[in-house]
Structure 1
């Protein structure tokens, strides 16, 4: 898991970092000039419209709509609500998440997913090792620990909330399942935006990157799609035995550590995590001949902030034509 990054800056680095962050703040205000940012007790202008629906983060005081949260005012027809800038993770159906198994219960695994409650992955919502679609039986239940055990890292999809209030997951695709030979990082969930693609095969590094919507990030050795895990003869058994004694090559481990440090650095600076930003930071560290252990040092920390300023200026210029 990720710890809070402590960076010791000298006076020059402090001045450079402060200038970069101020520039980023100015650029953000330019980009959001058409949006209304409010703090607690600010009045939200509704232009005297009738039938206004007061949503999350709003209240009525002396006939006015006021904000009860800090954030951005959003409107959907007559509904007015405040979207917080640093919200906790709120699961939505279809979210790709990464979690850690904390308990094996009858016909289910319980996972920690960076939410106010643990999630549940039912045995019936999981592909069986033999790949055959059939009803789960008592033998399958007895063999649950051979699929996932405590502390295993698992990728799954949010299925929804059940009538009892519990959050259920499903892992019925080959892309879901146990994650091995890598690092699990935990970042604030608001830094991971929901996108069409959360699985990334970084071929140039031989690494898989999974950006969990819940703020759990997986960086690990690229895993070939599983076709069938069932052992059918002695030759297959020997292959499995080889896999158990397999070690990740040193170069791949170095790539994993470098990419993981890029994630840590971007998260510490409060920048949104995208595959493009992570690769850019990784490549910048390599081109600058920065050692993996020095990526979390003060100089590269400041350089990353300064590089983000240039990236956003470039984006703004492109938008303006």
Structure 2
């Protein structure tokens, strides 16, 4: 009597080149792999259409969509995870303001009782005349004479640092400069970086040991200037309006000018390599440049920039 024995079917690989595991352990293994990939210390860059993780292990957030039970990136940016929520923050995007944010802006227009300010957002911000410091004390009432002299305080092209106070019905920011740490900016230069690179810190006013002050605007505008002593900023009532609203820069010595240019180029290199900007990384970057005795122009060289960023990121891992 002849009997026929059935052989087990040959094993086939899963789609997309992935290895199939036992149904009881497949989800756990996939989740572990995804956690390892998404929990790295560095930011993971992704492009539109790139696979991020499994939709069964994570929930999709902004900048993603689900296809074939997979979370796919819909924009180019960095992958961020909060618990099981995965989002992609776009690299190129306008600044989304929040109340209390510190921003650096430029006056674009002088209007009745207000200034229009370019703050790198979707629309110009508004600085009301009632929201600034005026001579004679910060609590006094704004008079018609103040409105006639608005250009003596801010005029087109002036740079300032301010705080987001509120929002109008159309979504425009309302700014204020009711503190002497805010107001007109002088004795420096501005650098523009993607807003995503500026992290929220305890203080966005940074003083480097080289005699340079930094103001990290959350809107992506960074102000690099000559160091100002804290004693010169005290005494808000009866302050010297001519000094606060002056358009004349102070005399800056050659060493300070070189330091300002060096810090500016460091920020440009870090932004070009998509390195988040914090007080710690900026201090480490400046110390590295000084140790290597690099000139101001040498920092911008491609080879130097790659070594520079590799040294910083390697030291932080």
TM over 0.5: yes
| 1:110-133 deviation digits (Å, cap 9, x = unpaired) | 111111211111111112133241
Contact kept in structure 2, 1:259 and 1:279, CA below 8 Å = no
Contact kept in structure 1, 2:224 and 2:263, CA below 8 Å = yes
Contact kept in structure 1, 2:138 and 2:236, CA below 8 Å = no
Match of 2:139 in 1: 133
| 1:114-155 deviation digits (Å, cap 9, x = unpaired) | 112111111111121332412212111111111111111100
Match of 1:216 in 2: 221
Match of 1:205 in 2: 210
TM-aligned CA distance change 1:137 to 1:299, over 3 Å: same
Contact kept in structure 2, 1:109 and 1:122, CA below 8 Å = yes
Match of 1:316 in 2: none
What is the Cα deviation at residue 41 of structure 1? 8.3
| 1:232-253 deviation digits (Å, cap 9, x = unpaired) | 9xxx99x99x995841122221
Name the larger-Rg structure: 2
2:297 alignment partner, one of 289, 293, 296: 293
Query: How many residue pairs were aligned?
Result: 274
Distance between the aligned counterparts of 1:257 and 1:250, measured in 2? 11
Distance between the aligned counterparts of 1:122 and 1:268, measured in 2? 36
TM-aligned CA distance change 1:172 to 1:65, over 3 Å: farther
**Residues 173-252 of structure 1 mapped to structure 2, 5 A cutoff:** 173-202=179-208, 204-223=209-228, 224-225=232-233, 227=235, 246-252=250-256
Answering whether residue 268 of structure 2 is matched by residue 264 of structure 1, we say: yes
Distance between the aligned counterparts of 1:211 and 1:177, measured in 2? 15
Distance between the aligned counterparts of 2:310 and 2:52, measured in 1? 36
Contact kept in structure 1, 2:106 and 2:119, CA below 8 Å = yes
Contact kept in structure 1, 2:161 and 2:182, CA below 8 Å = yes
Match of 2:91 in 1: 86
**Residues 50-199 of structure 1 mapped to structure 2, 5 A cutoff:** 56-57=62-63, 67=72, 69-70=74-75, 72=79, 74=81, 82-86=87-91, 88=93, 89-199=95-205
What is the Cα deviation at residue 270 of structure 1? 1.3
Which structure carries more relative contact order (alpha carbon 8 Å, separation 6+)?
1
Distance between the aligned counterparts of 1:120 and 1:73, measured in 2? 32
3-state DSSP class of the match of 2:297? helix
Match of 1:17 in 2: none
TM-aligned CA distance change 1:230 to 1:267, over 3 Å: same
Distance between the aligned counterparts of 2:149 and 2:163, measured in 1? 22
RMSD in angstroms over aligned alpha carbons? 3.6
Distance between the aligned counterparts of 1:166 and 1:132, measured in 2? 24
TM-aligned CA distance change 1:59 to 1:283, over 3 Å: closer
| 1:253-274 deviation digits (Å, cap 9, x = unpaired) | 1211111111111111211111
Answering whether residue 313 of structure 2 is matched by residue 305 of structure 1, we say: no
Match of 2:40 in 1: 31
Match of 1:19 in 2: none
Contact kept in structure 2, 1:182 and 1:218, CA below 8 Å = yes
What is the Cα deviation at residue 107 of structure 1? 0.8
Distance between the aligned counterparts of 1:43 and 1:256, measured in 2? 40
3-state DSSP class of the match of 2:269? helix
Moved more, 82-91 or 119-128: 82-91
Gaps of 5+ in 2: 1-35
Match of 2:282 in 1: 278
Distance between the aligned counterparts of 1:157 and 1:267, measured in 2? 24
Contact kept in structure 2, 1:57 and 1:81, CA below 8 Å = no
Per the normalisation by structure 1, the TM-score is 0.72
Contact kept in structure 2, 1:72 and 1:85, CA below 8 Å = no
